[in-house]
Amino acid sequence: MPGDLGLRVLREHVASVYAAYNASILVHFGLGAALGIVMYVHRPRWWILAWMAAHLSFGLVLFLMPRWHADVPLQDTTRWARRHSRTVTLVSMATATAPWLFISADDLPTTSVLTVVIIGSCARAMQLLWPLKPALYGYTLPMMASLIAALAWQGDAMHLFLAVFSLGYLLFTLRVGGQQHKLLTDSLVLRFENEALAAQLGVQIAAAERASAEKTRFLATASHDLRQPLHAIALFGAALENELREHHGSRNAQRLMRAVNALGNSLDTMLDVSRLDAGVITPDIAPVSLDAMFRSLNHMFAAQAEQRALQLRVRASGLWVHSDPQLLYRMLSNLVDNALKYTAQGGVSVRARARGGVVWIEVLDTGIGIAPEQQDRVFEEYYQVQNPGRDRAQGLGIGLSIVERLSRLLDHPVQVTSRVGRGTRFRLQLPMVAAAPQHEQQAAAPMQQPQRTAAAPVTFTAPAAHPLPSVKAIQAAHGRVLLIDDEAEIREAMARLLQGHGIAVETAANEAEAIDALGRPGTQAEPFVLLLCDYRLANGDNGLDVGLRLQRRFGLDAPLVLVTGETAPERLQRVRASGVPVLFKPVNAATLLRMLGDFLPGLRHAIV
Ligand code: ADP
C-alpha cells in the first residue's frame, strides 16, 4: 500500500476506535467496579477496596487524557495509533492482576464470575478494537493470558476445563478480529482508490472541457480572421465576375466564386460543430408538420438526385412531431445529402411512421453501405470511411457528427442499420403530436428558404449562387447606400460590387465620417436609403451601436443592415436580440443583392 494511502486507511481505523473511547472506558471500568463490589460483598477484604480504588483512579486518568480528534494532521496518525494500543495494553495489564487476586480453588462462584467478566470484555474488545490490530492484541492477550494461567494454576479438572475453554475463546476472538480487520482495510483501500480515480476523472473531464472551450474559441477566432480576407475575395470576385460577364475570362471568375463559396460553407460547418459543442444553441421546440418538412427536402434535393440519375422518393404521412424545425431540417438534410452522395444507382427515400406515441423518420438508400465496425465511427468528427486523401469534394466528415450532436440536443435518438453494397437506413425517433392546423404555416415556413441569418441557431449553407441581376435591369434603383467599414479594402470591394450593379454608394471608415456624409448638403436630393455597417469597427466601436446612433441623430428612416464575420456566440446573441438583419462574411453577392432588394424598391423589382 503506498504511504499516503496506508496513512489514510490507518486514520480511518484510529477515528473508529476513538469514536468508542468514552464508551469503552465506562464499560471496562464500570465492569471492574461491579466486580470489586460483588467480591467485597461476597468476601469483605480491605485489599479488594484498594484494588477498586486503584482501578477506578486509572480509569479517571484515562478519561481525562487528551484524545485523537478529526483535526489531528495525517502525519501524526501512526503516533496516535501506537498511543491507543499502548493505553489499552496497560489497561489490560492492570486488569490482569484480578485473576491472581480473586481466583482460588475453593471458590468456584468467584472464579465463574471473573471468567465471565474477562471473556465478556474480550468479546466487546473484538467488536471495538479490530480496526487496530495491535490494540486488539494488546487488550486481549495480557488479560486472557493471566486468566488462563491463573485457572490452570489451580490444577483441578473444573479450573483446567475453564482454562482450555478460555484459551479456545481467545484464539477464536483473535482470528475473527484479524479477518474483520482485513475486510475493513480492503474496503477502505477500495474506497480511497475509487475516490482517487473519481478525482482523476474529474481533472481529466475538466481538462477535456477546457480543451473543448479552447477549440471553440480558437475556431471562432480563426473563423473570424479567415472570414475577413475571404469576404474581400468574395466581393472583389463578384465584382470581377460582373465586369467579365460578357468576356471570355468569365468562366474563371465563376470558378473562383464557386471555390470561395465552398470555403465559406466549410467555415460555416466547422462553426456549427463548435457552437453545438459550446452549448450555445438552444432548441426552439414546436409542433412540426413532417409533410411540410419533407416537401422542403424534396425541393432542396430534387435537382441533386436528378443530376445523379437517382430516384428521390419522399412520402407524405400527415404526421406531426415535437421538435425544433430548423435543427430537425438540418439533421434530415445532412442524412439525405449523404444518402445521395453515397448511392451510385437506385434511389433514396424519406418516410415517417408512427408507432406507439413515437414517430420514426427513416432515410433509406440503396448505396454502398457502411460496414458494421464503421457504423459507430462515422458519427465521429472528421471521420470518413474512404477518403484518406481528404478530398474536399467528398465532404469534410462532419455531417454525421452534427447529426449526432443535434440528436443529443433534441433528444431524438438516431440509429443506423446498413449492409455493405446493399444500402443504409438512418432512423430518428421523435415524439409525436396531434396535427395542429394553425401551426401548419409556421412549421413549414422556416424550411422554405433556409438562409444564414443571426436568428438562425445553426448557420445554413448559403443558397447556391443565383444568376446576378443585370445592371440594366436594376438601374432603376434610386437612393444611396451608406457603407461603414473600417477596412479600406472591403470598402473598395463592396463599393465596386454595388456600383457594378448600378447602386450608388457612399463609404465611411467610422462614425465621424458617416456623420460627415449624412450631414453633407445634397443628401435631401439623393437620400440614403440603407445603412450597411460592418459589425466590428476600429477602436472598439461596433456597427450595431454606431448604426443605431446615426439613425437617432439624423432621424433616418433608412434601415440598418449589419455585415459580420463575428462568430462568438455572446456577440451573435446581442445582434440577434436587436432584431437588426445580418449578413455573414463572406457575403455571397447574390445574397447581398437579394437583401438590398428588400430595402431598395427598384432593386427588388429587378431581382425578384
Ligand atoms: P462526409 O462529409 O464525409 O459525408 P459525414 O460525417 O456525413 O461526412 O459521414 C461520415 C462518413 O460516413 C462518410 O465519409 C461515409 O463514408 C459514411 N456515410 C455517411 N452516410 C452514408 C451513407 N448513407 N451510405 C454510406 N456511407 C455513408
Contact between 528 and 482 under an 8 Å Cβ cutoff? The reply is yes
Same domain, 320 and 181: no
Both 496 and 417 in a single domain?
Answer: no
548 lies in the same domain as 423: no
For atom 25 of ligand 1, which residue has the closest CA? 369
Count of domains forming the chain: 3
**What mean pLDDT is predicted for residues 53-59?**
89
| Ligand 1 centroid distance, CA of 281 (Å) | 24
Show the domain range for 349: 286-450
Q: Are residues 186 and 37 in the same domain?
A: yes
279 part of a folded domain: no
The whole model's pTM is what? Answer: 0.53
pLDDT at 457: 31
Atom number in ligand 1 closest to CA 386: 16
CB of residue 270 inside a 6 A radius of ligand 1: no
Annotate 377-433 with DSSP letters as a single string.
Answer: GGGSTT--TT-TT--GGG--S-HHHHHHHHHHHHT--EEEEEETTTEEEEEEEEEEE
Alpha-carbon distance of 423 to 101, in angstroms, equals 95
Task: Using the predicted structure, report yes or no on whether residue 275 has a pLDDT greater than 80.
Answer: no
Q: How far apart are CA 321 and CA 429, in angstroms?
A: 10
State if residue 337 touches ligand 1 by the CB under 6 angstroms criterion: no
> Ligand 1 within 6 A of 567 CB?
no
Is 425's C-beta closer than 6 angstroms to any atom of ligand 1?
no
The region of weakest confidence among 192-201, 343-352, 489-498, 561-570 is: 561-570
Torsion of CA 399, 402, 403, 405, to 10 degrees: 160
332 and 478 belong to one structural domain:
no
281 found inside a domain:
no
Neighbours of 251 (CB within 10 A): 10
Q: Is 338 in the pocket of ligand 1 (CB under 6 A)?
A: yes
Under 8 Å between Cβ of 115 and 162: yes
Mean pLDDT confidence for 296-309: 92
Q: From the CA of 423, give the closest atom in ligand 1.
A: 24
CATH of the domain at 520: 3.40.50.2300
Same domain, 39 and 154: yes
Residue 145 lies in a domain: yes
Separation of CA 288 and ligand 1 centre (Å): 27
CA 393 – ligand 1 centroid, Å: 13
- Is 568 a residue whose pLDDT tops 80? no
pLDDT at residue 328 in the model: 94
Q: 169, 187, 202 — which closes off a domain? A: 202
pLDDT above 60: residue 460:
no
Residue 400 beta carbon below 6 angstroms from any ligand 1 atom: yes
- Residue where a domain terminates, one of 142, 177, 202: 202
Split at pLDDT 50, 70, 90, the class of 394 is: low
Cβ–Cβ < 8 Å for 385, 378: yes
pLDDT digits (tens, 9 = 90+) for 138-170: 999 999 999 999 999 998 888 999 999 999 999
pLDDT at residue 450, rounded to an integer: 35
One domain, residues 185 and 312: no
CB count in 10 Å sphere of residue 139: 30
CA 141, 127, 98: angle at the middle one, nearest 5? Answer: 40
- What residue's CA is closest to ligand 1, atom 1? 397
Q: Residue 569: its pLDDT value, please?
A: 63
Residues 367-383: pLDDT tens digits? 999 999 999 999 988 78
Q: What are phi and psi of 253, to 5 degrees?
A: -65, -40
Residue bearing the bigger pLDDT, 600 or 149: 149
So what's the pLDDT on residue 467? 37
Instruction: Please indicate whether residue 378, judged by its CB atom, sits closer than 6 Å to ligand 1.
Output: yes
Number of H helices, E strands in the chain: 20, 12
Residue 3: how many CB atoms within 10 A of its CB?
7
Q: What are the CA-CA distances from residue 400 to residues 64, 330, 403, 407 (Å)?
A: 72, 11, 5, 10
**Which of the listed ranges 279-283, 353-357, 434-438 does the model predict with the highest average pLDDT?**
353-357
Angle at CA of residue 335, ends 334 and 337, nearest 5°: 65
The whole-angstrom separation of Cα 30 and Cα 35 is 9
Query: Is-contact 353 362, C-beta < 8 A?
Result: yes
Q: Does residue 80 fall inside a structural domain?
A: yes
What is the CATH classification number for the domain harbouring 419?
3.30.565.10
Pocket lining: 401 vs ligand 1, CB cutoff 6 Å: yes
Q: How far is the CA of 459 from the centre of ligand 1 (A)?
A: 20
Q: How far is CA 528 from the centre of its chain?
A: 48
Decide whether any atom of ligand 1 lies within 6 Å of the 424 Cβ. yes
Residues 413 and 336 occupy one common structural domain: yes
Question: Do 404 and 551 have their domain in common?
Answer: no
Question: What is the residue-averaged pLDDT of the chain?
Answer: 83
